[in-house]
Amino acid sequence: MVFSSLTFLYFFLPIVLIIYIFLPNKINVPLGSERSLVIPARNLLILITGFLFYAWGEPFYVIIMFISTLIDYTAGRLMNKYDDNQRIRTVCLIVSVCMNIGLLAVFKYSDFIFDTINSVFNSDITNPVILVNRKINDIYNFGLSEDRVALPIGISFYTFQSMSYTIDLYMRKIKVQKSLIGFTSYVTLFPQIVAGPIVRYEDVAAEIEDRKVNISKISEGIAKFSKGLAKKVLLANNIGIIWTEVKAMDYTQISAATAWLGILAFTFQIYFDFSGYSDMAVGLGKMLGFNFPKNFDHPYMSKSVSEFWRRWHITLGTWFREYVYIPLGGNRNGMAKTLRNLIIVWGLTGLWHGASWNFVIWGLYYGVLIIIERVGFGKILEKLPKAVSMAYTFLMAVFGWVLFDTDTIGKAWQFFRAMFGAGGSFADSTAKYILSSNLLIYVICIFAATTLFGNLMKFFKKKKKHIYAYAVPAAVVCVLFLCTSYLVDASYNPFLYFRF
């Protein structure tokens, strides 16, 4: 899917953009007798392109996305039609939420649920979804997985995105989208359909109806896309190879230095991978006339864990705050209920990321850290030197990534032990080789994860405008050339957040 997605963007996006630029937002088709049909041309192109992009890698599961979209659109229209009937509006909301959560339960969590049941009760119950897959294969030969339920790419993103529409409509925060093409184009916005950012309907409601595309927006979008592509291809892919090698080792035998170098590699890999894709999505959106929300803001420079999560995957944090934390009562009903709400939100945040106990514990780990800061430690962090509080936050994030990307709790514990010398040595030949061979990429990643590069660009833009005017286009061309060259030969090119 990863190669297919980048192939789609590289070879089909220019064609789509050329057509898109010359299309008007709407086309009036005369039908005679002074009647005409209004076709939202650009939205229709986005809809078609979105389905093609998704079907490029998920030809069967595009049906799931279409059904989800149709149900949420119908729920929205019924809520609007029966605006004065609270019972009908509530039923529509329940149907929408249950349908979206149900899709996640079936395709993302059903294996996890039955694995847990079988483990606890020492049983051997087969996941009913697998039985259905086998029956479908017998009849239609679709080639569905018969061992584990295949996870449709990006289902966690587009279900949350679609749910935000019906929830906000129920709360009367937005107006109904009467056009099926308009609503479907919102759900199938191909730049961010498979890995975010999570774009709520209110973020793009006005732009769904009418948006402008010009040279300035296109050039700005290309620059943003190139920045994200460089993060992904030149940084995440290269540093990620180190973690892939260390992760495959025997944790009981590796040195502490090897363990630290490995998890630091993943710490940078996941940041540049996910923020890189988000930048690419924001850039593509800009080219199409949309202003998607920022999803990352240099999280590794945070001075507390709470601040880290205000800078990391910002749109997910906003979603859980708006649709879970605040409806539960937020911090309005005393400390005890506030702490309860935080634990619920962070347990769900972990579960959103993956169907395993590692992810649940990872989410609760952050919930506990944020609670500790909430009850007083946060004030201590504020008084500490900036370097100390940043080092603490970065260290907590590194520990969190161990839980995030080891396969089981047992392996996570083994890796933690290795980080503190349980393997028997502080540094071995493997650690020395990793450091000597990859010192430059570590240094570049550290530099790129800070605001230094951005500040340098601001300086040139303000003080050296003539240099900036030529340097940026030249840099964009070089980045696109380097990334394309790399992708042609690369065998290692995972998008980490496609699995969510």
Just list the catalytic residues. 353
Structure tokens at 120: 């606890």
Structure tokens at 73: 């659109």
Structure tokens at 412: 């996570």
Between the alpha carbon of residue 481 and those of residues 10, 217, 230, 357, the distances in Å are 12, 22, 10, 42
Count the neighbouring beta carbons within 10 Å of the beta carbon of residue 103.
Answer: 21
3-class state of residue 104 by DSSP = helix
Cis check: omega of the bond before 197, within 30 degrees of 0: yes
Contact partners, residue 74, CB within 8 Å, separation at least 6 = none
Measured distance CA(41)–CA(285) in Å, rounded: 17
Assess contact for 71 and 96: CB atoms under 8 A.
Answer: yes
Which amino acid does the sequence have at 181?
I
Assess contact for 276 and 202: CB atoms under 8 A.
Answer: no
Bridge partners for 36 per DSSP: 30
Cα 343–108–13 angle (5° rounding)?
A: 110
Structure tokens at 379: 């004030």
Half-sphere exposure of 88 (CA within 13 A, CB side): 12
